[in-house]
Amino acid sequence: MKNLIIQEDKYTPYVSFDVDSNQFEIAGESYSEYTLQFFEPILEWLNNYLAQNNRPITFSFRMTYYNTSTSRRFFEILKILEDFYQHSNAALNVNWFANSNDMDMIEAGEDYQEDFSNLPFNILIQEIS
């Protein structure tokens, strides 16, 4: 499969799913009213890729802001990753990046970490000086 790269737009995040390195990332801001339209092809690509993958994956969320509708899509992505992790022998790490002064983003990561306790889910807090 080819890499999936979507450039950041005014309302949608940057998406980089690199099949050579198996480093997947969603970054930036996401506050489109039409998150299903944006994320549906991403979810489909991810399902198709994971069905044939057996190599370790690192999946990183580097968000600065996202709306409630996006949080539902992140939940769907994490559910796909959890199913993959539980039914394959491939290693998987999920990284949730948050700035030390962004309590909302830290708490969101903690909520996802709790919801997906079967996933290797790391909250990585970056110090802001």
57-100 pLDDT, tens digit each: 999 999 999 999 999 999 999 999 999 999 998 999 999 999 99
Range of the domain at 72: 52-129
Q: Which one, of 98, 113, 28, 119, lies nearest residue 70 by Cα?
A: 28
Inside any domain, residue 103:
yes
30-52 pLDDT, tens digit per residue, is 999 999 999 999 999 999 999 99
What is the number of structural domains in the chain? 1
Asked, for residue 1, whether it belongs to a domain, the answer is no
Residue 24 falls inside a structural domain: no
Assess contact for 45 and 80: CB atoms under 8 A. Answer: no
Q: Does residue 96 form part of some domain?
A: yes
Does residue 118 lie within any of the structural domains?
yes
User: 127: buried, middle or exposed (CB in 10 Å: 19+, 13-18, 0-12)?
Assistant: exposed
